[in-house]
Structure 1
């Protein structure tokens, strides 16, 4: 009988600290190796990313979801002969910088459902394709026309703009912006 009581007491003594650590009612500061840490604050949405947009399928797009990381906008159009091939390069850029950069394709007038089938990153899932039937986004970001890239840093500042023909310098700019070697 004594051994059962001793075993139960030992078991309770070992389990008590475990249950105290996993209490769902913890409301104090987060604790880490360096002591108390602040809870993560929501990232402010830069003015450049405060606009209304719809995807090519007509759904509302929450532009605030782009806050906190650099944003690469690729503008393409229905009459652009180079854009289907450029869609593959845009998807490759999204793959190379997955998780560090938001890549968004912007379909001009007449692009319909866009180049969604072409621009499908292997690792990152489908790209977001925004509809820009009235050129509101092209004008807002001062894109020169179709097959144009505009890169914004995490604060919404314009740091690069160029044509799809020069993705080498864009890739270097992206790598520098996110601290890749």
Structure 2
């Protein structure tokens, strides 16, 4: 039995269209959904995109409502999205069993490394167990940036994400400037370069 079948019925219903594995096309969006605080998780790095050497909120940047949530990383560390404030951010929504997500991993890691310290990159894993999420991070060599363990789908709901292999890109003020699928991550570097200068 696949682990994703064990998700609570409420989460499964809220994310009903997720099983398409990112089959939809990319779309631009005006902004993330508002919601209450969430609990999720990340890999081994600080929430500074790809390097873990600082945070956007240290500069006294205003925090948008989109970044007003907490989570837990896949390795069990606390994560406060407010630390993303003041820099552009890429939220990559993925599931461990999704082949399209696996195909996006290398390009996402490359972009995170290239923009380290300028852009925050955060994976948001869902639709499976934390063990499967850890295995995905290790198997795809994407541990250079944080990954949130969103087993209950709270961060996914907050950003109105209904299918995995999606990106939500926020500007330095926390406003959504892109939301959609980028097959194999193609186009992600160009979108991020336009925000980071």
Using the size of structure 2 for normalisation, the TM-score is 0.63
**Structure with bigger gyration radius:** 1
Q: Kindly provide the CA deviation profile for residues 8-55 of structure 1, in whole angstroms up to 9, marking residues without a partner as x.
A: xxxxxxxxxxxxxxxxxxxxxxxxxxxxxxxx9522222110012111
| CA apart distance, 1:84 | 2.2
Q: Which has the higher strand share?
A: 1
Cα distance change, pair 109–167 in 1 and its aligned pair in 2 (3 A): closer
> Structure 2 unaligned runs (5+)?
1-57
Runs of 4+ in 1 over 3 A off after TM superposition: 118-121
User: How far apart, in 2, do the equivalents of 1:120 and 1:81 lie?
Assistant: 15
Q: Which has the higher contact order (CA 8 A, sep 6+)?
A: 2
Q: Which residue of 2 aligns with 1:176?
A: 194
Report the aligned-residue RMSD. Answer: 2.0
Aligned pairs for 1:6-21 (under 5 A) are none
Q: Among 76, 83, 87, which residue is 1:69 paired with? A: 87
Q: Which residue of 1 aligns with 2:180?
A: 162
> 1:71, 1:151 within 8 Å by CA — same for their partners in 2?
yes
Report whether the alignment pairs 1:90 with 2:108: yes
Q: Which residue of 1 aligns with 2:76?
A: 58
Q: Kindly provide the CA deviation profile for residues 61-82 of structure 1, in whole angstroms up to 9, marking residues without a partner as x.
A: 1222111101100011133122
> Structure 1 unaligned runs (5+)?
1-39
Matched pairs, number: 137
